[in-house]
């Protein structure tokens, strides 16, 4: 049983050993409502009988690599029938591949099909990570009657807000790498003569990311993914995205959901929002009370090391074992104490301990402001009087290189907690720093920066990082966020800036759990680029993706009594 004492190191129980042999049925056809056939591999106990079912749906192929079916073997050897299906238009399944678009109906149809098979007891759960987690949320939106519970890991809840963009800032390296680069079946389409200027290296992933305008980048490499064109054509939060946003309908989902993820994962917002949304708005009392959250010091999956940090052997969690307890309770009626445990398990970095909580965000949180000042200081006292703003130039031709952060999956720059001293020579980053702390300060929960700023351009970006600076000078970011100026008021109704006018901007840094230890310093870095993790704002105000030209912007950050720029920290007493 997990330790329930706040501040104690949580003990994760080991899973029980396999209980049965299995049989495997390959290429089992599953007919969708529109006549399209999807194919699944079914792993199930060899002994005849009816078993609870776990459904997992993937665009990456059920046989892509040996570890692809680890979960199928793990759960089927412990008494579950495991339906492992290629999604529509991918690998063995028929139909047209269109990411996100058919997963609501196809998820419903697959769950209900699984519930009626001779080897099924009618109770169905879903599991899987990344896209395999996203499709669970899509299926839940359709409310299949036989879906009892699900475990979306490292998954987005709003494809617009926390996949394609982070609150409007276009996630260039991930979108292009996951989209045209990985999801098109051929590198070069047979579309006739194709001239490659400057040799084959010109179409390398890293070089392509340098290209402007964005809206013809993929064609340079012979890629022709229509879904990527559609993404570029919908940079605002409109009906194209709204209809697949589960955050719009948490109140219609009545099953318990166990979200798992990492503080440094690209989809950390989905992990946190998924739990918080279900706990606050779930359709049933069971959904609200029994949904769970597990979040560690990880990237796109559990580990002990990420970026340049080693959080210790205890930081890694066997995600299958954690899921097994949840599925055993809901699908088999087996309670090993999980129903009485606090629903939130989170890792507090700095202290490097697992802790259980009754909710997220934590009810005892004290939201405190740390104010920016003109000498690069960061303090608890609000500024007085009128002071000169801090200024810097942002040149899209020389962007701040992505150095760590919440990214994943083969992008060309390293993700995670990376030492920011690599960027010390940059003049286009403003750094605000507290004095060495005289006591530990734990920050756990949602973080945002409220910025009063102006630009001499009609559009631009502002990026903020929350950084833990240790006595030896190492500067490790623990949270980051972006705001695109045209979206300062609404992600659905962009408005350009009036050059020189001071505006308030809110930068959502998503969330973290980090103890800034005595002797450490809290730092906030402000800049206007984080490339190629986010696309470079050309500062022209042109429609998104269309600008081949750029302008240099002069940015001003204000921190006087009337315009007190600050970071709002969720301090845990």
Per-residue model confidence (pLDDT) at position 70: 92
Domains of the chain, with CATH numbers?
22-158+245-292 (3.40.50.1820), 170-238 (no CATH), 366-572 (2.60.120.260)
- Average pLDDT over every residue of 35-51: 97
Per-residue model confidence (pLDDT) at position 465: 98
Per-residue model confidence (pLDDT) at position 3: 33
Reply yes or no on whether the pLDDT at 13 is more than 90. no
Reply yes or no on whether the pLDDT at 388 is more than 80. yes
Reply yes or no on whether the pLDDT at 188 is more than 50. no
- Average pLDDT over every residue of 237-262: 97
Per-residue model confidence (pLDDT) at position 346: 98
pLDDT tens digits, 425-463? 999 999 999 999 999 999 999 999 999 999 999 999 999
Per-residue model confidence (pLDDT) at position 224: 83
pLDDT tens digits, 106-115? 999 999 999 9
Structure tokens at 320: 């299958």
Per-residue model confidence (pLDDT) at position 64: 65
Residues with catalytic function: 130, 265, 300
Reply yes or no on whether the pLDDT at 6 is more than 50. no
pLDDT tens digits, 327-363? 999 999 999 999 999 999 999 999 999 999 999 999 9
The C-alpha atoms of residue 472 and residue 511 are separated, in whole angstroms, by: 25
Reply yes or no on whether the pLDDT at 177 is more than 70. yes
Work out the percent of the chain whose per-residue pLDDT is above 90.
Answer: 86
pLDDT tens digits, 390-432? 999 999 999 999 999 999 987 888 899 999 999 999 999 999 9
Contact 99, 106 (CB under 8 A): no
Per-residue model confidence (pLDDT) at position 66: 66
Closest CA to 43 of 17, 18, 15: 18
Per-residue model confidence (pLDDT) at position 196: 38
The mean pLDDT value of the chain amounts to: 93
90 CB-side CA count, 13 A = 23
**Torsion angles phi and psi, residue 63, rounded to 5:** -130, 25
pLDDT tens digits, 130-157? 999 999 999 999 999 999 999 999 999 9
DSSP 8-state code for residue 160: I
Contact 335, 56 (CB under 8 A): no
């Amino acid at each position: 049983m997990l330790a329930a004492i706040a501040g104690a190191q949580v003990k994760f129980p080991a899973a029980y050993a396999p209980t049965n042999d299995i049989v495997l049925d390959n290429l089992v056809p599953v007919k969708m409502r529109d006549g399209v056939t999807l194919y699944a591999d079914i792993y199930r106990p060899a002994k005849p009988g009816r078993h609870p079912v776990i459904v997992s749906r993937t665009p990456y192929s059920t046989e892509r690599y040996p570890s692809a079916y680890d979960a199928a073997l793990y759960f089927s050897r412990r008494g579950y029938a495991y339906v492992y299906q290629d999604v529509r238009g991918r690998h063995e399944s028929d139909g047209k591949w269109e990411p996100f678009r058919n997963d609501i109906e196809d998820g419903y149809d697959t769950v209900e099909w699984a519930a009626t098979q001779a080897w099924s007891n009618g109770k169905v759960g879903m599991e899987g990570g990344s896209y395999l987690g996203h499709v669970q949320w899509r299926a839940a939106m359709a409310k299949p009657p036989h879906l009892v519970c699900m475990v979306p890991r490292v998954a987005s809840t709003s494809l617009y807000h926390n996949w394609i963009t982070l609150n409007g800032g276009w996630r260039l390296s991930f979108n292009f790498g996951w989209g045209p680069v990985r999801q098109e079946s051929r590198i070069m389409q047979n579309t006739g003569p194709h001239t490659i200027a400057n040799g084959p290296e010109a179409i390398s992933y890293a070089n392509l990311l340098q290209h402007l305008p964005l809206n013809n980048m993929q064609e340079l490499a012979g890629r022709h993914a229509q879904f990527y064109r559609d993404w570029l054509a919908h940079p605002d939060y409109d009906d194209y995205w709204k209809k697949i946003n589960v955050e719009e309908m948490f109140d219609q989902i009545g099953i318990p959901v166990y979200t798992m993820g990492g503080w440094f994962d690209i989809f950390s917002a989905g992990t946190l929002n998924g739990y918080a949304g279900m706990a606050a708005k779930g359709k049933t009392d069971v959904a609200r009370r029994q949904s769970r959250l597990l979040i560690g010091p990880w990237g796109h999956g559990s580990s002990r090391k990420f970026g340049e940090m080693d959080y210790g052997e205890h930081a890694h969690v066997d995600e299958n074992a954690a899921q097994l307890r949840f599925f055993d309770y809901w699908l088999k009626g087996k309670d090993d104490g999980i129903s009485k445990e606090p629903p939130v398990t989170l890792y507090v970095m700095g202290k490097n301990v697992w802790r259980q909580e009754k909710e997220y965000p934590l009810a005892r949180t004290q939201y405190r402001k740390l104010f920016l000042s003109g000498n690069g200081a960061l303090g608890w006292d609000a500024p007085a009087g009128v002071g000169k703003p801090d200024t810097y130039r942002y040149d899209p031709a020389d962007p701040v290189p992505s150095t760590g952060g919440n990214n994943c999956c083969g992008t060309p720059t390293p993700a995670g907690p990376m030492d920011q001293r690599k960027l010390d020579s940059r003049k286009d980053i403003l750094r605000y720093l507290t004095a060495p702390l005289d006591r530990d300060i734990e920050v756990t929960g949602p973080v945002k920066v409220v910025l009063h700023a102006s630009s001499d351009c009609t559009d631009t970006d502002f990026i903020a990082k929350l950084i833990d600076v240790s006595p030896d000078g190492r500067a490790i970011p623990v949270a980051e966020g972006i705001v695109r100026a045209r979206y300062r008021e609404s992600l659905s109704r962009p408005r350009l800036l009036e050059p020189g006018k001071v505006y308030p901007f809110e930068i959502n840094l998503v969330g973290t759990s980090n103890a800034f230890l005595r002797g450490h310093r809290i730092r906030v870095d402000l800049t206007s680029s984080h490339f190629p993790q986010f696309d470079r704002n050309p500062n022209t105000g042109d429609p998104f993706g269309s600008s081949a030209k750029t302008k240099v912007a002069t940015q001003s950050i204000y921190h006087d009594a009337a315009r007190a720029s600050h970071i709002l920290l969720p301090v845990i007493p």
